[in-house]
Structure 1
Amino acid sequence: MLPIFQSLSRPEAIEQVLAEHIGTIVHIDFIVKTLYGELEPDVLKVVKGRVQSSLTKGRESNKWFSVSGKPGHYTLSLTLLPKNQTKNSSTRAKGKNHKQVS
């Protein structure tokens, strides 16, 4: 990871990126580039797989949410997205308590 994120675990770094962009939808490619910078294609494939795994685990534990109808897109809180971006959001995620970052 880039020096700014090296003291954090991957899930903590992902959560920080999502918190910096709270109220928006963030794509996995943006998360990978923010955390790791430019990578060679072979390294990118491995790193992206690891980030995807961390995103899935975080989604399953309700640390953040995937955006229904937008594969590879995540947000820290569905309730903070503009209404037009949450029309297709899953009802399962809407009913859960959302972790807020202060």
Structure 2
Amino acid sequence: MATIGEVEVFVDHGADDVFISYSLWIGTRQADRLRQLADRARIAVGAGTAEGASTTGARLAVAAGAIDVLIEIDSGHHRSGVRAEQVLEVAHAVGEAGLHLVGVF
């Protein structure tokens, strides 16, 4: 899925395990919505930068551990994701932010 709104619709209709494949820049309102969703379903988000992972963890605060994270890898088209040599940096930022790293995509 691409947006928190899409996730809300799916969870409202019974989905219990969803993945937002786009890296999110989470503000306070989005963090509130993700925390509420995490109470109802397994939620995973993509991380494309160390800064984005840090911001996500800080905004989610206590609920950060309830949100799974997958690191987006650049597939060679240089449009999104991190280069292979940046994966450890992003993984470290995910852990430092209190988020739960579950893989890459």
TM-score of the aligned structures, taking structure 2 as reference length: 0.33
TM-score of the aligned structures, taking structure 1 as reference length: 0.33
Higher strand proportion (structure 1 or 2): 2
